[in-house]
Amino acid sequence: QPGGSLATPACHLPTCLAEWIRTISKNNKPVQPGRRKDAAAMSASRKLKPGRLIAATHNQGKVKELRDLLGDAGFTAISAGELGLPEPDETADTFRGNAELKALAAAKASGEPALADDSGLACDGLSGAPGIYSARWAGPDKDFRAAMQKVEDGLKSETTSDGEVDKRASFVCVLSLAWPDGHVESFEGIIRGQLVFPPRGERGFGYDPIFVPEGETETFGEMDPSKKHAMSHRAIAFAKFKTFLAE
């Protein structure tokens, strides 16, 4: 999840939310597809064998999804929280940068390969916000109901003169696999969809209850977890990760 320091403006929604969105959205730079940093140097010793893998997250929702996905590939996910590893400050300005930062921190602290995820909701009508600040919109108490309300209020403030509201959005995920020596591989997944209000469904986590994937009628919050895990942004990134393992 996003990190770093960003003070919430002392204002009332939606009065100045739009201005805040315009300010932070400048930092939501496009994520480039993951590439091997040193493909020529890749060797068999870099290949991971099924077994234990550090999941570099303290977010229980992500831990559950990563365990489900990693289990299908023969890995047992041990979270950074379970190992008592510190949570690094997420100071990068892209999903990929923050994913790599977290993976490297866990790999170096544990002495084992680690997999990190950085993901978020990017709303077309909010110039890509909340983007890398998706978790921060929920505040220190992780109140995603409040975060979803901020999204709705922000979109209302961006309504055009003819009453149109752009509810298109993307969920973006970057998975980064890091080794203790600093080598990193990154894999990106994106799924497009539409936002709906009020939130629907109690499944999933984060912004899932307001996101309906293209071609579907249910939100991620209503959808059966097995169906969501087969099509989500995290699943798309993970499919690329599994292809890498098979090479």
For 227, the 3-state DSSP assignment is helix
Q: Give the DSSP H/E element, type plus range, for residue 64.
A: helix 60-72
Which tokens in the block code for residue 162? 């003819």
Structure tokens at 191: 């799924």
Using CA atoms, how far residue 14 sits from 38, 60, 218, in Å, is: 46, 31, 28
Reduced DSSP (H G I as helix, E B as strand, rest coil) percent helix, strand, coil of the chain, to 5:
35, 20, 45
Tracing tokens 């990154």 back to the chain, one arrives at 186
Q: How far is CA 30 from CA 4, 96, 128, 238, in A?
A: 18, 10, 9, 20
Looking only at the bridges linking them, the beta strands covering 76-79 and 211-213 are unpaired
Set 72, 89, 117, 118: catalytic member: 118
Is 118 considered catalytic here?
yes
User: What is the set of active-site residues?
Assistant: 118
